Amino acid sequence: MYCPECGHDAGNAKFCPECGTGLSHVKGARSGDAKSAKSTTAQSGSGSTAVPGKLSPAVVWGVLIAVAIVAVVVVIMVSGGGSDKAASGDSASGSEVSHVDADTSGSYDKLVQRANDLYDKGQEDFRNQPEQAAEYFAEAAEVYAAAWKKQATDPNVGVDYAVSLFYSGDIDAAIAQVDAVLAKNPDHQQGWFNKGIILSHAARVAEQDDAKKGAEMLQQAKTALSKAVEIDPKSDSGKAAAESLKSLK
C-alpha cells in the first residue's frame, strides 16, 4: 500500500514510515463490502451527484502530487485531491486513459460489489496512473449512486460513495453525500473522519480565492475530526482523526 501523502510504499503499516501519515483509514476508507450491503438503516435523501464543484481528474491528481511534495506532514488523505489551483494538469503518467463503463444494472448487492471492485481498481492505479484511477473512482461513484438509490441503508456504503466522489474530484457532491449519511447516522465515526478530510481539502480550494471562506471550512473540518475522535479515540479511525487534527493546528 502506497502512502497517499508522500507516495512511499508503506506495506501494511498503520503509519507511513517515511512521513508519519496514518494509513489505517486508507485501507478502511472504502468501509462497505458485500456483507455490509445486507444491513439496513434509513433513507439518505442525497441520491444525486449533480452538485457543482467537480474538478477535472488532471487537476485533482496534480494537486495530490503537489501536496505530497510541498507538505510532508499535512492532513491525512482518504482521497486524493482537492484544489482547482494545481500548478499543472500533467500529473498523469502520460499513458492513454481507457474509458471505464459503469454498469448500473442489477440488484443492490451486485451494485455494491461492482462499485467496490471499481474502487479497488482505482486504488491499484492510484500512484502510477492517476487519471485512470480517477476514472475508476468516478465510475465507482456512479455505481454506488445506483445502489444508494435502490437502498439508502448502510452508512458504510453511503460513505464509500462519498469517498469515491471525492477521489473523482467532485468535492461538493462528496460533502453533500457524507452529510446525508451523518444526518441519519450521527455517530458514524468513519463518516465524521471522512467529512473532516474532505472539508480540509475543500478549505484549501476555497482559500485560494476567499481566505475567509477557507478559514470557515477549515474550522468545519476541525469540528468533524474532533467529533470522530470523540466517538472512539482508541479506534484506528479515532487515532487517524487525532493525527489529522494535529496537522491542521
The predicted-structure confidence for 113-169, as pLDDT tens digits, reads as follows 999 999 999 999 888 888 889 999 999 999 999 999 999 999 999 999 999 999 998
pLDDT, residue 19, reads 52
Q: Check whether 63 has a pLDDT greater than 50.
A: no
Taking the CA atoms of the chain, what radius of gyration do you get in angstroms? 16
Would you state the cell numbers that stand for residue 18, as one nine-digit string?
A: 517515511
Q: Check whether 57 has a pLDDT greater than 70.
A: no
Fold of 24-85+102-248: 1.25.40
pLDDT, residue 6, reads 54
* CA-based end-to-end distance of the chain: 27
Q: Check whether 75 has a pLDDT greater than 90.
A: no
Region 75-92: mean pLDDT is 32
Distance, CA of 161 to CA of 103 (rounded, Å) = 15
Q: Which is it for the CA torsion 113, 49, 138, 60, positive or negative?
A: negative
pLDDT, residue 98, reads 59
State the pLDDT confidence band at 94, using cuts at 50, 70 and 90: very low
Nearest to 39 by CA among 151, 116, 188: 151
